[in-house]
Amino acid sequence: MTAKELSVEEKLRLICGQDSWHTVDFDGKIPGVCMSDGPVGLRKVAVNEKGEWYDQPSVAYPALHVLANSWSRECAREMGEALADDCKEKNVDILLAPGVNVKRNPLNGRNFEYLSEDPLLAGTLAYEYIDGLQSKGVGACLKHYYVNNLEYNRLDQSSEVDERTLREIYLKSFELACEAKPISAMCAYNRINGVFASENEKGFRILREEFGFDGAVISDWGAVHDRTACAKAGLDLEMPYSEGNYNKLVADYKAGKIADEEVDACADRVLKLAERCEEMRRTRKVERTVEERFAVARKIAEEGIVLLKNDGILPLEKGQSIAVSGDFAAPGDSAKIAGGGSALVQWRGERFDLAKILGEKLGGEVRYARAFWERGLICDARKAMTDAAECDVNVICAGTGAGIETEGRDREDMRLPKWEEESIRRLAEINPNTVVVLFAGSAVDVSAWEDCVAGIVLAGFCGERGGEAVTEILTGEVNPSGKLSETFPCCFEDVPASSTDNDPCVARYEEGIDVGYRYYDTYGFEVAYPFGFGLSYSEFAYSGLKVKTSGDKAEVSFSVKNVAGPAGKEVSQLYIRPIASYVHRPEKELKGFVKQEIAPGKTAKVKFALTLKDFAYYSTAVDGWRTDDGLYEILVGASSRDIWLQALVKIEGGKISFVKETD
Ligand code: BGC
């Protein structure tokens, strides 16, 4: 069916949604679409007998920042596939996910919903997630398009960004994700260079004409201020239904402020969306059992938990006595290990009890005390202190949780709450054999307590199977393999956005393309933990870099050996660094990554393929991508600051040639 077959009234109605979660179906005349949140698990809203809204329980997977810390394409694909089953079970056609906005400010309340500070990592994992979801019959909704990096005054603040930065950073992750052909995309709340994202005609044109997006653009919930302006710009569907906006649209149509072709363009895309969903519905069947989906959630947590510090205290040994403390270890509600807002999922399984699981795994004595000197409440602090003194190892579970990291509000600072920092310091003083397990959705300033403790494990918002994954990492049953998808700066003042985001009207992206490690590495900042960093119980050594070139292509190969420790997974990273450039380039840019398992003493061969495009920058002089002739270094290593192998290549007349190895 096309828009031409509908009456004007029907068309206008169609592009305005039915209610909070559905499109109109005109009593079965056209297929209706059901959509639900969100990135870390299905949040299908239902009404109880009292007429109150509630979120139905569903598998709570690790949040997207944990997925990103896994650097695993396989995990991203499996997460999409498993989520499709959650949706199919509840007749949801479109999952409002994933979020691919590049992170620039660690205080953004929604960072946990986004993947990385690097567009390649974010876009690549989003591609797998979308393809996994859609290959199993459920549509994705790529969000929030675009430059959505803050919750502060989120319905009005404008992100002021130059064109090159948009293209290289903030649009790039969307461009890469679009290769998976998401059937829908959601516009952001914020303004971009003064214009609402929902009315940003240029942005929608780039999405469709340059990124090949052929789905429907949906508004974020309540992001429409002027339905007519949005429709003219190319926003197809307003969600949720708003009577005021619909009436205004009808009045504007009658006054000739919007043409039939403009209405038809939107209506046709909504019809196509509905037909695609109906088509997918026909072949849908649930493939994974709930237990199998729990296993996916656990695998992502196992691969996405990052070991940040280990002075030899980990893994814990069988028979050691352990004092576990902190709010985050106690069995409780979802909010403790997840972020808040539309992404918060009411988990489906049992609440985990970290001390209990640890006790079962280690076989020795494990005690638990809540401990934190929270908001003047002296919890069982005395017991925690006695436990810490009497046990071999002290495991403190600290973090932020949904109360601090949530949609609608940014964090106040990068540090943990004062009472948590205080508890860590006091307990570590009593027993320096202290490990902190951090449940947080974004970078944390660890400076107040890092030196007092012997180990730090970043569990992140690790989902409902996170308890098992954390204990497996602590006990060495799983060898940690997660690496940071965002830098942990030393303090918030080091973040360029710290001084440019405080104006309610405008956030000035003055650091331009130097986002995250691109900034810290270019300007020589010390950081607490660099981008791409994560420890393992094994040691890996890199050698044998070879660069084979042929015309405009290069193949980079090298070996990674597991030289000590158990079998483990290593994430190898490839960066490029232009040597002398006529435009500013960051010190390094990620161009490839691979994660693979390597048995003890064994060597894995890694290969990356590069083309001229990998060396390009966006030139505003030609309004397009350019690769300049010149020298470029290829850097291979275990993190952005742990480069093992380097080679120089030359680009001349569209051809790449190898020059020499460098050190
Ligand atoms: C959020 C979206 C979400 C929508 C529906 C909005 O407030 O920004 O990410 O999908 O609500 O819950």
Query: What is the whole-number distance in angstroms between the Cα of residue 4 and the centre of ligand 1?
Result: 31
Residue nearest to atom 6 of ligand 1 (CA): 221
Residues 83 and 61: beta-carbon distance below 8 Å:
yes
Report yes or no: 314 and 476 within 8 Å, Cβ to Cβ: yes
| Amino acid sitting at position 24 | V
Q: For position 166, what pLDDT does the model report?
A: 98
Is 500 in contact with 152 (CB distance < 8 Å)? Answer: no
Of all protein residues, whose CA lies closest to atom 8 belonging to ligand 1?
A: 220
Q: Is any ligand 1 atom within 6 A of the Cβ of residue 100?
A: no
| Residue in this structure with the two tokens 């950073």, named with its chain if needed | 169
Query: Ligand 1 centroid vs 330 CA: distance in angstroms?
Result: 29
First to last CA, the chain: 63
Give the chain's residues under pLDDT 70. 371-379
Rounded CA-CA distance 543/608 in Å is: 15
Residue labelled with tokens 């690549």: 124
Among 94, 150, 218, 342, the mutation site with the greatest number of ligand 1 atoms within 8 A of its Cβ is 342
143 C-beta closer than 6 A to ligand 1? yes
Q: Which of 163, 53, 178, 38 is nearest to 110 (CA)?
A: 38
Alpha helices by DSSP H, listed for 136-226, are: 163-165, 172-178, 201-205
Domains and CATH numbers, the chain: 3-282 (3.20.20.300), 305-529 (3.40.50.1700), 539-662 (2.60.40.10)
Count other C-beta atoms under 10 Å from residue 211's C-beta: 17
HSE, side-chain direction, 13 A CA sphere, residue 406: 14
- C-alpha 631/C-alpha 150 separation (Å) is 37
Q: Is 342 in the pocket of ligand 1 (CB under 6 A)?
A: yes
Dist CA 398 CA 17 (whole Å): 42
* Distance separating alpha carbons of residues 655 and 216, to the nearest angstrom: 39
> Which atom of ligand 1 is least distant from the CA of 97?
10
Phi and psi torsions of 127, nearest 5°: -55, -50
Q: Compute CA distances 294 → 63, 172, 291, 353, whole Å.
A: 14, 32, 5, 16
The reported pLDDT for the residue numbered 620 is 97
The strand ranges marked E within 157-249 are: 158-160, 184-187, 191-192, 195-196, 216-218
pLDDT at 379: 64
Q: Is 220 a catalytic residue?
A: yes
Q: Is the CB of 220 under 6 A from ligand 1?
A: yes
* Of residues 113, 439, 117, 413, the one with CA closest to residue 306: 439
Alpha helices by DSSP H, listed for 601-645, are none
Task: Provide the mean pLDDT of the chain.
Answer: 96
pLDDT for residue 331:
80
Say if ligand 1 is within 6 A of residue 96 CB.
Answer: yes
Report yes or no: 428 and 449 within 8 Å, Cβ to Cβ. yes
Among residues 566, 637, 568, 565, which one has the least CA distance to residue 598? 568
Closest atom of ligand 1 to 37 CA is 10
CA of 142 to the centre of ligand 1 (A): 12
> What's the 607 CA to ligand 1 centre distance in angstroms?
40
372 CB contacts (<8 Å, ≥6 apart)? Answer: 325, 326, 327, 379, 381, 398, 419, 420, 423
Alpha-carbon span 565 to 601, nearest angstrom: 9
Closest listed residue to residue 523, CA positions, set 534, 535, 512: 512
Q: Of 55, 220, 264, 501, which residue is the catalytic one? A: 220
Distance 221 CA to ligand 1 centre (A): 6
Question: pTM for the whole thing?
Answer: 0.97
